[in-house]
Amino acid sequence: MLKDLVLANRSFRGYDESYKVSRKELMDIVDHARLSPSAKNAQILKFLVACEEEVVTKIQAQTKWAGALSELNLPREGSRPTGFIIILNDSNFETPIGLVQKDVGIASAVMTLAATEKGLGCCMIGSYSGKGLIEALDLPEHLKPIFVIAVGKPAEKIVLTDASKGESVKYYRDNNDVHYVPKRKLEDIVVFPKT
């Protein structure tokens, strides 16, 4: 069951804009992160949830997607996400950045799996203007955007392929706009100790 969710949990860059993600859905997704493990149980992250069209548009304008396919300008007009979750670092907590990053990784993985279970799709976005988001969303000084997750109803096909040792793992699209994601083979990533 979990592996099925992992296989369905892809970085979508095309969404059905007729499906409006609800605040309730976003809050439930964040609740999965709230209940997840946290480094030292510090629970320092905050989460901005947005499904209002005006706010979603402001966030979208501050993000850059699919760096390996920048010529495609994804997501295309008419296929953008209808919700966002922004993970925020609360500087009121004096927490080493390493612990913050661990919590961001845990929260992001859990939230995207929770969204997948609901039939939604996500894209974790690390390329964004932090300053632009702070200004556009009028965030208080102590809250800094650290990661952005787009949420919506997926409207594209993504295919996983095996990458042989030494082959590129750069994602690509074919002429039918099918998105291919090469994955290294299990035997190429597992290391066994010397006996």
What is the per-residue DSSP string for 62-75? TB---GGGGGG-SS
> How do the domains of the chain map onto residue ranges?
2-155, 157-195
Q: Residue 76: is its pLDDT beyond 90?
A: yes
Helix 23-34 to helix 97-117 angle, to the nearest 10 degrees?
Answer: 130
- Token representation of residue 88: 């925020």
* Pairing outcome for strands 158-163 and 179-184: parallel
Provide the H-helix boundaries in the chain: 2-8, 23-34, 53-61, 97-117, 130-137, 186-189
pLDDT value for 98: 86
For residues 152 and 91, give the distance between their C-alpha atoms in angstroms, rounded to a whole number. Answer: 29
Choose from 40-44, 95-99, 178-182 the range with maximum mean pLDDT.
178-182
Tell me the CATH architecture of domain 2-155: 3-Layer(aba) Sandwich (3.40)
* pLDDT tens by residue, 127-175: 999 999 999 999 999 999 999 999 999 999 999 999 999 999 999 999 9
Q: Residue 95: is its pLDDT beyond 90?
A: no
User: Looking at domain 157-195, what is its CATH homologous superfamily?
Assistant: putative fmn-dependent nitroreductase like domains (2.20.180.10)
Facing residues of 47 across strands? 87
* pLDDT mean over 56-65: 97
Mean pLDDT of the chain: 95
